Chains A and B, each alone.
Chain A
Amino acid sequence: MSRIEVLKTYKIYIGGKFPRTESGRYYQPEANGKVLGNICLSSRKDLRNAVVAARSAQGGWVVKSAYNRSQILYRIAEILEGRRTQFIEELIQQGSKKAQAEKEVNLSIDRLIYFAGWCDKYTQIFSSVNPVASSHFNFSVPEPTGVVAILAPEESGLLGLISQIAPTIAGGNTCVVLASENKPLCSVTLAEVLSTSDVPGGVINILTGNRKELILHFATHMDVNALIYCGDNSTEIKSIHEAAVDNLKRVMIRDGGGYVSDKYESPYLIYSLQETKTTWHPIEKIGAAGSVY
Chain B
Amino acid sequence: MAEKDYRLSPRVDQVGIQDRVDRITKRSVKSEAKRKGLLMTLNMIDLTTLEGADTDFKVKQMCYKAQHLHDSFPGLPTTAAVCVYPNFVKAAVNEVKGSGVKVASVATAFPSGHSSSEIKLLDTKIAVDNGAHEIDMVISRGKFHSGEYNFVHDEIAAIKEACGKARLKVILETGELGTFDKVRRASDIAMDAGADFIKTSTGKISPAATLPVTLVMLEAIKDYYYETGKMIGMKPAGGISNSKLALQYLLMVKETLGGKWLSNEWFRFGASSLANDVLMQIMKQESGNYQSKDYFSKD
A and B pair up = yes
- Please give the residue numbers on chain A whose beta carbons come within 8 Å of chain B beta carbons, in ascending order: 44, 47-48, 51, 217, 220-223, 246-247
Give A48 to B292 CA distance when docked, in angstroms: 11
The one of A47, A51, A220, A223 in contact with B294, judged by C-beta atoms closer than 8 angstroms, is: A223
Contact between chains at A51 and B289 (CB < 8 Å): no
Pick 10 A–B contacts, CB within 8 A, sort by A. Answer: A217-B290, A220-B288, A220-B289, A221-B289, A221-B290, A222-B289, A222-B290, A223-B291, A223-B292, A247-B294
The one of A48, A217, A221, A222 in contact with B295, judged by C-beta atoms closer than 8 angstroms, is: A222
Task: Collect the chain B residues with CB atoms within 8 Å of residue A47's CB.
Answer: 290
Give A220 to B290 CA distance when docked, in angstroms: 7
Instruction: Name B's interface SS.
Output: loop
B290 → chain A, closest Cβ, in Å? 4
Taken residue by residue from 72 to 93, chain B's Cβ proximity to chain A (1 for < 8 Å, 0 otherwise) reads as: 0000000000000000000000
B26 within 8 A of A: no
Give A221 to B284 CA distance when docked, in angstroms: 10
Give A223 to B289 CA distance when docked, in angstroms: 10
A59 → chain B, closest Cβ, in Å? 12
B209 → chain A, closest Cβ, in Å? 22
Task: Collect the chain A residues with CB atoms within 8 Å of residue B97's CB.
Answer: none
A275 → chain B, closest Cβ, in Å? 14
Taken residue by residue from 256 to 299, chain B's Cβ proximity to chain A (1 for < 8 Å, 0 otherwise) reads as: 00000000000000000000000000000000111111110000
Task: Collect the chain A residues with CB atoms within 8 Å of residue B292's CB.
Answer: 221-223, 247
Chain B stretch 235-270: residues in CB contact (< 8 A) with chain A: none
The one of B288, B290, B294 in contact with A48, judged by C-beta atoms closer than 8 angstroms, is: B290
A257 → chain B, closest Cβ, in Å? 30
Give A223 to B288 CA distance when docked, in angstroms: 14
Give A135 to B33 CA distance when docked, in angstroms: 60
Contact between chains at A246 and B289 (CB < 8 Å): yes
Task: Collect the chain B residues with CB atoms within 8 Å of residue A217's CB.
Answer: 290
Give A222 to B292 CA distance when docked, in angstroms: 5
Give A47 to B291 CA distance when docked, in angstroms: 13
- Knowing that A217-B290, A247-B294, A247-B295 are A-B contacts, what are 17 other residue pairs whose CB atoms are under 8 Å apart, sorted by A's residue number? A44-B290, A47-B290, A51-B290, A220-B289, A220-B290, A221-B289, A221-B290, A221-B292, A222-B289, A222-B290, A222-B291, A222-B292, A222-B294, A222-B295, A223-B293, A223-B294, A247-B292
A231 → chain B, closest Cβ, in Å? 23
Give A246 to B292 CA distance when docked, in angstroms: 11
Give A222 to B293 CA distance when docked, in angstroms: 9
Q: Which among B288, B291, B292, B293 has the highest number of chain A CB atoms within 10 Å?
A: B292
Give A25 to B293 CA distance when docked, in angstroms: 30
Task: Collect the chain A residues with CB atoms within 8 Å of residue B291's CB.
Answer: 222-223
Give A246 to B287 CA distance when docked, in angstroms: 11
B282 → chain A, closest Cβ, in Å? 14
Closest chain A residue, CB of each to CB of B290: A221
- In the A-B complex, the 9 residue pairs with the smallest Cβ-Cβ separation, listed nearest first, are A223-B292, A222-B292, A220-B289, A221-B290, A222-B291, A48-B290, A222-B289, A222-B290, A246-B289
Give A47 to B290 CA distance when docked, in angstroms: 10
A186 → chain B, closest Cβ, in Å? 28
A248 → chain B, closest Cβ, in Å? 11
Closest chain B residue, CB of each to CB of A51: B290
Give A290 to B128 CA distance when docked, in angstroms: 61
Task: Collect the chain A residues with CB atoms within 8 Å of residue B290's CB.
Answer: 44, 47-48, 51, 217, 220-223
Task: Collect the chain B residues with CB atoms within 8 Å of residue A247's CB.
Answer: 292, 294-295
Give A217 to B289 CA distance when docked, in angstroms: 7
A52 → chain B, closest Cβ, in Å? 9
Task: Collect the chain B residues with CB atoms within 8 Å of residue A220's CB.
Answer: 288-290
B91 → chain A, closest Cβ, in Å? 33
A242 → chain B, closest Cβ, in Å? 13
Give A223 to B284 CA distance when docked, in angstroms: 12
Task: Collect the chain A residues with CB atoms within 8 Å of residue B293's CB.
Answer: 223
Give A104 to B288 CA distance when docked, in angstroms: 40
A30 → chain B, closest Cβ, in Å? 32
Give A246 to B283 CA distance when docked, in angstroms: 13
Give A221 to B295 CA distance when docked, in angstroms: 12
Task: Collect the chain A residues with CB atoms within 8 Å of residue B294's CB.
Answer: 222-223, 247
Taken residue by residue from 119 to 144, chain B's Cβ proximity to chain A (1 for < 8 Å, 0 otherwise) reads as: 00000000000000000000000000
Task: Collect the chain A residues with CB atoms within 8 Å of residue B289's CB.
Answer: 220-222, 246
Closest chain A residue, CB of each to CB of B289: A220
Give A246 to B290 CA distance when docked, in angstroms: 11
Closest chain B residue, CB of each to CB of A247: B292
Taken residue by residue from 93 to 120, chain B's Cβ proximity to chain A (1 for < 8 Å, 0 otherwise) reads as: 0000000000000000000000000000
Give A1 to B190 CA distance when docked, in angstroms: 70
Give A223 to B291 CA distance when docked, in angstroms: 6
Task: Collect the chain B residues with CB atoms within 8 Å of residue A44's CB.
Answer: 290
Q: Which among A47, A222, A223, A247 has the highest number of chain B CB atoms within 10 Å?
A: A222
B49 → chain A, closest Cβ, in Å? 23
Give A47 to B289 CA distance when docked, in angstroms: 12
